[in-house]
Amino acid sequence: MVKRTDFVYSQETEPHRIRTKQILKQHPEMRKLIGKNWTTIFAIIGIVSLQVVLSWLVSDKSWWIVVGVAYLIGAFADHALFVMIHECAHHLLFKNRSANRLAGILANLPQLFPSSVSFERYHIKHHSFQGVHELDADLPNRWEAKLINNYFFGKVIWFLFYPLFQVFRISRLKEIKPVDKWIVLNFVLEAIFITAIAYFFGWKAIVFLLLSFFFSVGLHPLGARWIQEHYLTYGEQETYSYYGPLNAVAFNVGYHNEHHDFPSVPWNKLPEIRKGAPAYYDTLSYHTSWTKLFFRFLFDREISLFSRVVRKERGKVKLTDESRPDVDLVKEKEKEKEMSMN
């Protein structure tokens, strides 16, 4: 057994920008997949409504039913809302950025913790600076990895309180975003939502929503998604996709290599990337079961929070919401076409 005591350090650049260039060169038709999917707003409205209805239905039921419904239904609904927030963070619903942020805030309401606006700001860094510890909030803190170690009960605690560990990571980042009107709006609307649920349905409804939130990201097979995406489960491949049945209720979020290669492609078209360039994706290691990975992570002492690739920041890179390889390359191609025509 190999017990890691530090992250895996790499001198190589992150793999996605290079692969994007290669795929676009060989498959220029991939550009057609880039765009918006405004119909996603209906999924957001439907799932938010589902959580509100469920919170009402369980408000006068036994605690066993509250916990059971939260684990078996609420967790899947909240996880799907996380994916919707993720889509809004990449502005994949509407052309108007404010409309995307408002949609993200709406999706955030049943989760009780106002985080959609903050997620947008720090998630874009994860794409632009994957593996750079001072900029990528997806990486665990060193003290976090040491605290959890690679033991079963440590991993259980990590899953249970995963959202809190994520909050602690922000303080280490170089660029901490200030509070602005969007964050305030996120908090105010969340407070109004919580007050309304508590007033009309009671505190059992609030507990149901709280449990749904923690199950959706933690001690639940869905929690394996956080391990699937970037933890070194097969060699030192940095990013992994999940091609399993739960993609049907998780809006294809398992297509993670595809998403990192083409962050400007909406969730409904991600499978087309793999289908259109199988030579690039079928040769990568991938997962087919979140449940299997969930238990493997808990019991396999060779997998710990140190099972991540870390790299140094290279030079000064201006960070913007457009720091996405697929968008950059399309713009470059458009400029080349204009110059050739002139």
Query: SS3 sequence, 99-117?
Result: HHHHHHHHHHHHHCCCCHH
Q: Is the pLDDT of residue 341 over 60?
A: no
Helix (H, G, I), strand (E, B) or coil at 310: strand
According to the model, what pLDDT value does residue 339 have? Answer: 39
> 8-9 and 309-310: which strand pairing?
parallel
Q: Higher pLDDT residue, 265 or 324? A: 265
Strand blocks (E) in the chain: 8-9, 241-242, 286-287, 309-310
Query: What is the per-residue pLDDT for 175?
Result: 76
Checking if the pLDDT of 316 tops 50, the result is: no
Contact call for residues 160 and 152 (beta carbons, < 8 A): no
pLDDT of residue 317: 43
**Percent of the chain whose predicted confidence (pLDDT) is above 70:** 91
Q: Are 116 and 103 in contact (CB under 8 A)?
A: no
How far is Cα 234 from Cα 145, in angstroms, rounded to an integer?
19
Q: Give the N- to C-terminal CA distance of the chain in Å, as an integer.
A: 63
89 pLDDT exceeds 90? yes
Is pLDDT at 320 greater than 70 in this prediction? Answer: no
Q: What is residue 318's predicted lDDT score, i.e. its pLDDT?
A: 44
Q: Name the DSSP class of 242.
A: E
What pLDDT does 36 receive? Answer: 97
Domain ranges of the chain: 8-332
Q: How far is CA 138 from CA 13, 124, 150, 170, 220, in A?
A: 17, 11, 18, 10, 19
pLDDT of residue 177: 74
**pLDDT band with cut points at 50, 70 and 90 for residue 26:** very high
Q: Mean pLDDT across the stretch 150-173?
A: 92
Quickly count: other Cβ atoms within 10 Å of residue 290's Cβ.
22
Q: What is the average per-residue pLDDT within 297-318?
A: 81
Residue 5, pLDDT score: 86
Residue 96, C-beta contacts closer than 8 angstroms, at least 6 positions apart: none
Predicted confidence band at 326 (pLDDT cuts at 50, 70, 90)? low
In three-state secondary structure terms, 250 is coil
| The two three-digit tokens of residue 190, written as one number | 């969340």
Calculate mean pLDDT across residues 132-139. Answer: 94
331-341: average pLDDT = 45
